[in-house]
Amino acid sequence: MSKGIIVQKYGGTSVADIGRIQNVAKKVVAAKRAGFDVVVIVSALGHSTDKLIELAHQITVIPSERELDMLISTGEQVSCALLAMAIHKLGEDAISFTGAQVGIITDTSFTKARIIDINAKRIVEELKKKIVIVAGFQGVSVNQDITTLGRGGSNLTAVALAKVLNAESCEMYTDVEGVFTADPRVVKDARKIDRLSYEEMFELASLGTQVLQPRSIEFAMKFGVPIHVRSSFSNKIGTIISREVKAMEHIVVSGVALNKDEAKVTICDVPDRPGIAAKIFKVIAKENINVDMIVQNVSRTHATDISFTVPGTDLHKTIKVAKELSRRVGAGDITFDKDIAKVSIVGIGMRSHSGVAAIMFEALAEKRINIEMISTSEIKISCVVNKKYGEKAVRVIHEKFGLGKKKVKK
């Protein structure tokens, strides 16, 4: 009798070379032999997706998005076939599929397609006898074109399949032991978090914690799919991400995130009239530029400066659009700053605790780190600081909120 379906997703680092693929095969076979029906989702080998994009860019800076998807979807096809072979070698039956073969139907927005339907009949059928391996990150559009689901999209494939198959669990295997209170490469005593709510994980991921793709968490939250983030190099329990439970409220700050990939743009001397901000941000949105923080100063002269942050990769496009806009609305110069870092704290306990922002600002003040921008929401506070202080800021905030490992008294 089967113990039910288990979905396991292995990220790029877990399948970076043949040795690691063989290690994954062992883990998959162990789950099968423990009595589960196993569905495996794999990412492309190591950084091979980046390398494919790089090849495209050697030809043109703006490749056709249809062809780009055709190209980058191949990475996952390589890893899923190799994994199937490695499992065969261990004496178990396994079969690999592309997204299209298992009916992952998406809309037509290449490079960031949305899943609109999954026809899991083939998987269910094969699962009766075999381990099923599915290429992550890809689907087929309603027009029969190959699409991809946005960078890190294998997470989304895993969550979506776990939901459709009504799986017992959705395990995300990576090269770290779970989600940490801060990046362990930046903060030495960062601690692995045992449990997080979907909301917190979503914020941490959106604010720069690169363990899970934000979209996949949104999906998991919508359908209540619990996720277990863990390491493919150990058997330790990792981080469980689920709906909020009562005990989570007591934790004011769960983690500190750092994003160094944004840039700040300022439009100076913007006329202070109703409708101007609407006009500016409408045009920017139309260019598909994702604006994050926005700060507008009080105006005493009927003109005000508006600063906002955008992904660093969109900076040039943004400056061009902003210059044009400034002319149209009668504003002044455009200035920009690439040397910024956004440091954020996240925690659901913030809803019921006051003074959290003050503690964060104090931590920065003690180290004489200047805050350039601030934004807050119910469960997060972000500060923009000079890029060269980004990591230091993470360390002092982590320390101030006592998030590190408990120090053993000597």
Q: Which is nearer to ligand ASP, 11 or 347 (CB)?
A: 11
% helix, strand, coil for the chain, step of 5? 40, 25, 35
Distance in Å, CB of 132 to ligand ASP, minimum: 18
Would you say 151 and 2 are in contact if contact means Cβ atoms under 8 Å apart?
no
116 contacts 105 by C-beta, under 8 angstroms = yes
Q: How far apart are the first and last CA of the chain?
A: 53
Question: What minimum distance in Å lies between the beta carbon of 131 and ligand ASP?
Answer: 20
Instruction: Tell me the C-alpha distance between 22 and 42, whole Å.
Output: 13
Q: Which does 242 bind (CB under 5 to 8 A by kind): ligand ASP, Mg ion, none?
A: none
Residues 341, 291, 201: CA angle, nearest 5 degrees: 65
- Helix (H) / strand (E) containing 84: helix 74-89
Rounded CA separation 242/250 (Å) = 16
- Shortest reach from residue 15's CB to ligand ASP, in Å: 10
CB of 47 to ligand ASP, least distance (A): 8
Nearest distance from C-beta of residue 44 to Mg ion, angstroms:
6
Q: Which residue is nearest to ligand ASP (CB)?
A: 154
Binding range to Mg ion, per CB under 5 A, among 36-44, 161-169, 303-311, 352-360: 36-44
Q: Is 160 or 253 the residue whose CB approaches ligand ASP more closely?
A: 160
Closer residue to ligand ASP, CB minimum distance, 212 or 306: 212
75 or 347, CB closer to Mg ion? 75
What is the separation of C-alpha 242 from the centre of its chain, rounded to a whole number of angstroms? 16
DSSP H or E stretch at residue 341: strand 340-346
Nearest distance, CB of residue 12 and Mg ion, angstroms: 3
Rg of the chain over CA atoms, in angstroms? 23
Closer residue to ligand ASP in complex, CB, 136/139: 136
Instruction: State which H helix or E strand residue 121 sits in.
Output: helix 121-127
**Cβ of residue 173: shortest distance to ligand ASP, in angstroms?**
12
Closer to ligand ASP by CB, 171 or 248: give it.
171
* Cβ-based nearer residue to Mg ion, 134 or 187: 134
Among residues 386, 62, 3, 346, which one has the least CA distance to residue 205? 346
Burial 215-242 (b: 16+ CB within 10 A, else e): bbbbbbbeeebebbbbbbbeeeebbbbb
Which residue among 8, 13, 14, 43 contacts Mg ion (CB under 5 A)?
43
Residue 151 binds which one of ligand ASP, Mg ion, none, with CB within 5 to 8 A depending on kind?
ligand ASP
Nearest approach, Cβ of 154 to ligand ASP (angstroms)?
3
CA–CA separation, 80 and 15 (whole Å): 10
Q: In terms of CB distance, is 43 or 96 closer to Mg ion?
A: 43
Binding site for ligand ASP (CB under 6 A): 11-12, 43-44, 49, 75, 136-137, 151-155
Q: Which does 178 bind (CB under 5 to 8 A by kind): Mg ion, ligand ASP, none?
A: none
- In three-state secondary structure terms, 290 is coil
Taking the C-alpha atoms of 217, 219, 225 and 226 in order, what is their torsion angle to the nearest 10 degrees? 0
**Beta carbon nearer to ligand ASP, 49 or 106:** 49
Residue 214: CB minimum distance to ligand ASP, A: 13
Among 66, 80, 63, which residue's Cα sits nearest to residue 25?
80
- Selected range binding Mg ion among 8-16, 26-34, 57-65, 240-248, rule: CB under 5 A: 8-16
Note whether 153 binds Mg ion by CB under 5 A. no
Site string for Mg ion, 12-31 (x = CB under 5 A): x-------------------
Least separation in angstroms between CB 43 and Mg ion: 5
Residue 137 binding partner per list ligand ASP, Mg ion, none, with a CB distance cut-off of 5 to 8 Å that depends on partner kind: ligand ASP
CB closer to Mg ion, 211 vs 331: 211
99 binds, among Mg ion, ligand ASP, none (CB under 5 to 8 A by kind): none
Long-range contacts from 306-310, C-beta under 8 angstroms, 24+ separation: 306/266, 306/267, 306/270, 306/277, 306/280, 307/264, 307/265, 307/266, 307/267, 307/373, 308/264, 308/265, 309/262, 309/263, 309/264, 309/265, 309/340, 309/342, 309/373, 309/384, 310/262, 310/263, 310/265, 310/284
What does the binding site for Mg ion look like in residue numbers (CB under 5 A)?
A: 12, 43
